[in-house]
Amino acid sequence: MKLPEQVTRLGIVIAVIVAVVLLLRFVILPESLFSARPHQAAAAEREMAKPLRHAGVAVCRECHEEQFELKYGGKHRTIGCENCHGPAASHAADENAAKPPLPREREACLACHGYDSSRPNGFPQVDPLEHRPRKKCVTCHDPHDPVPPKAPTECTGCHGRIEHTKAMSTHALLPCASCHAVDAQHMTEPRLALPTKPDSREVCGRCHVPGATDPAASKVSVDMAAHGGTYVCWECHYAHLPEGRK
């Protein structure tokens, strides 16, 4: 059966269109318009042409085994040495070359640990204006094993909120037992054996009277005889976040 002339013409038109498309796709137009491979190859070639700046953790470990083992067992085990110390290829190649810098300024740590509400729950964060202001982080924390201040495990099960609040305060490194005595019965029947609270002003005065030996606490010193009358300190100041008001 002979096809209608209109169908024959339509077939010819479609064939011409397909031929033009194939010609454009595989002959005329460059591959970079349709594939990422040329871009990836060019990027790889460009990057490989650059001089090496980073040595890598394995190279650092060869000379700094002790620091590596400490870091690998701590919270920073997934952080590369050069993330904090900067590129070290030249130092690894020549021990007499300039050593990588030691990040001792607060900003180096606050880049990750400054408070940001978008970070996941539980990520260690501090308010830099409230948490040990003007004090270098490495004064209290070993960067290779930066154990965040924590309440005893037996306390955090019920007092996780308090632990989180205290960790962001100037009392972050103060042990719970400094202010509270807890009977063993509290672990099984908490309502029948409550922890003690400081019952005198002298408990806080140990650190906050003028001339106290704790250099951090002495910055916030008060005259216990004149300040607050007969009130116990925690009746006005929330001890887990003393920077604020109760």
For residues 106 and 126, what is the distance between their CA atoms, to the nearest angstrom?
A: 11
Most confident of 116-130, 189-203, 205-219: 189-203
Task: Say if 78 falls within a structural domain.
Answer: yes
| pLDDT computed for residue 148 by the predictor | 60
Task: Say if 81 falls within a structural domain.
Answer: yes
Contact 170, 131 (CB under 8 A): yes
Q: Is the pLDDT of residue 214 over 60?
A: yes
| pLDDT computed for residue 246 by the predictor | 42
Q: How far is CA 5 from the centre of its chain?
A: 74
For residues 28 and 21, what is the distance between their CA atoms, to the nearest angstrom?
A: 10
Task: Say if 171 falls within a structural domain.
Answer: no
| pLDDT computed for residue 216 by the predictor | 66
Task: Say if 70 falls within a structural domain.
Answer: yes
Q: Give the amino acid at 100.
A: P
Task: Say if 34 falls within a structural domain.
Answer: no
Long-range contacts of 201-206 (CB under 8 A, 24+ apart): 201/228, 201/231, 201/232, 201/233, 203/179, 203/233, 204/233, 204/234, 204/239
Tell me the per-residue pLDDT of 19-54, one tens digit each, with 9 for 90 and over.
998 888 888 888 888 888 888 999 999 988 988 889
Domain of 143 in residue numbering reads as 60-92+105-111+134-147
Q: Give bridge partners of residue 126 from the DSSP assignment.
A: 114
Number of domains within the chain = 1
Task: Say if 68 falls within a structural domain.
Answer: yes
Contacts of 27 (CB under 8 A, 6+ apart): none
At residue 126, what are phi and psi to the nearest 5 degrees?
A: -135, 155
Q: How far is CA 12 from CA 2, 3, 20, 24, 37, in A?
A: 16, 13, 12, 18, 35
- Record the tokens describing residue 136, joined without a space: 């270098």
Task: Say if 139 falls within a structural domain.
Answer: yes
At residue 114, what are phi and psi to the nearest 5 degrees?
A: -70, 145
Predicted structure pTM score: 0.47
| pLDDT computed for residue 152 by the predictor | 65
Task: Say if 33 falls within a structural domain.
Answer: no
Tell me the per-residue pLDDT of 141-183, one tens digit each, with 9 for 90 and over.
888 988 765 666 667 778 878 887 887 777 887 888 888 888 8
